[in-house]
């Protein structure tokens, strides 16, 4: 694992229905102690203006829009996202090599381009879900195949389940960035995620960054929960 690329390792998912709620919650966070993620629901409602406000407040922002389209369209979208000053963007690895390479090339003109990562297998999908969509491979095998393709296509890393992180770390090397959603505290509800892991186990398994939403956003004291997570993962041997 490349520890030089770190800084705050927790990415708080701002899964809110509107800008006012998201900004109000962000006021309770500290940009020095976490990063934030804006996904499709919030971005669809609040748009680039919200992203720009969060960036101005000092947050490293992961714009989680999972682009998956023809190469020219994805390239243009990535260029527009980079223009917002975000820290990280993503595409679907299943969009293929040409699409991912086009996304990478679109960022070439930026002095400080965002990290560009690819989604392997959504953490909400299990083996049966994949079979229904034509993938006979188990999730971990498909995730490795897509991660190798992403690395070969110039991606900085992938989004993957923490359960697959050790396998992908071995396959793609120490400098390949692994971002893991599906993170839950030991006493948290599983909700709609199927392949989940605790923060300490995810870091020990090779994850670089942890996407955590409900355990923090639903907490009575979000900073206290965040600090506990940060302390727990800092104690994991490198």
pLDDT at 124: 84
pLDDT at 162: 87
Per cent of the chain over pLDDT 90 is 83
Q: Is the pLDDT of residue 132 over 70?
A: yes
Residue matched to tokens 């355990």? 215
pLDDT at 45: 97
Structure tokens at 51: 């992203």
* Cβ-count burial 2-13 (b if 16+ within 10 Å, e if not): eeeeeebbbbbb
Phi-psi map region of 108: left, alpha, beta (phi>0 left; psi -120 to 50 alpha): alpha
* CB-count burial class (<10 Å; 0-12, 13-18, 19+) for 208: buried
Q: Is the pLDDT of residue 5 over 60?
A: no
Biggest CA–CA distance in the chain, Å, is 45
CATH number of the domain at 6-234, please?
A: 3.20.20.70
pLDDT at 65: 98
- Give pLDDT tens digits for 145-182: 999 999 999 999 999 988 889 999 999 999 999 999 98
Q: Is the pLDDT of residue 193 over 90?
A: no
Alpha carbon distances (Å) from 179 to 27, 41, 202: 24, 20, 10
pLDDT at 98: 98
Distance from C-alpha of 4 to C-alpha of 233, rounded to nearest angstrom: 16
Structure tokens at 192: 């709609």
Q: Is the pLDDT of residue 33 over 60?
A: yes
- The stretch 59-71 carries a mean pLDDT of 98
Q: Residue 36: what are its φ and ψ, rounded to 5°?
A: -130, 160
Structure tokens at 43: 């971005």
pLDDT at 1: 46
Going by C-alpha positions, the residue among 169, 173, 195 that lies closest to residue 184 is 195
Going by C-alpha positions, the residue among 139, 162, 39 that lies closest to residue 90 is 39
Q: Is the pLDDT of residue 23 over 60?
A: yes
Going by C-alpha positions, the residue among 142, 146, 86 that lies closest to residue 116 is 86
pLDDT at 91: 98
Structure tokens at 123: 């953490």
Residue matched to tokens 């104690």? 235
Most confident listed range (34-48, 119-133, 134-148): 34-48
Alpha carbon distances (Å) from 212 to 34, 53, 198, 222: 10, 21, 10, 11
* CB-count burial class (<10 Å; 0-12, 13-18, 19+) for 187: exposed
With cut-offs at 50, 70 and 90, classify the pLDDT of residue 111: very high
- The stretch 77-106 carries a mean pLDDT of 98
Q: What is the average pLDDT score of the chain?
A: 92
Distance from C-alpha of 52 to C-alpha of 47, rounded to nearest angstrom: 9
- The stretch 138-144 carries a mean pLDDT of 92
Q: Is the pLDDT of residue 135 over 60?
A: yes
Catalytic residue among 40, 56, 66, 194: 66
- The stretch 222-231 carries a mean pLDDT of 96
66 part of the active site: yes
Higher-confidence residue of 196 and 9: namely: 9
pTM over 0.95: no
């Amino acid at each position: 694992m490349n520890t030089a690329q770190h800084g705050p390792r927790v990415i708080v998912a701002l899964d809110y229905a509107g800008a006012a709620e998201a900004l109000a919650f962000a006021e309770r966070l500290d940009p020095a102690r976490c990063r934030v993620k804006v996904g499709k629901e919030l971005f669809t409602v609040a748009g680039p203006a919200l992203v720009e406000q969060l960036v101005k407040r000092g947050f490293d922002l992961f714009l989680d829009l999972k682009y998956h389209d023809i190469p020219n369209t994805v390239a243009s979208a990535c260029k527009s996202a980079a223009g917002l000053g975000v820290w990280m963007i993503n595409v679907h690895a299943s969009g293929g090599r040409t699409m991912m390479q086009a996304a990478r090339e679109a960022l070439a003109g930026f002095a400080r381009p965002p990290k560009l990562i690819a989604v392997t297998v959504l953490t909400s999908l299990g083996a049966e879900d994949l079979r229904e969509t034509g993938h006979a491979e188990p999730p971990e095998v498909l995730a490795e195949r897509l991660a190798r393709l992403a690395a070969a296509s110039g991606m900085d890393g992938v989004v993957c389940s923490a359960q697959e992180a050790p396998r992908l770390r071995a396959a793609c090397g120490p400098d390949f960035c692994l971002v893991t959603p599906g993170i839950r505290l030991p006493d948290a509800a599983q909700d709609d995620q199927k392949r989940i892991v605790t923060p300490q186990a995810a870091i020990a398994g090779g994850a670089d960054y942890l996407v955590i939403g409900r355990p923090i956003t639903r907490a009575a004291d979000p900073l206290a929960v965040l600090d506990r997570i940060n302390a727990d993962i800092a104690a994991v041997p490198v």
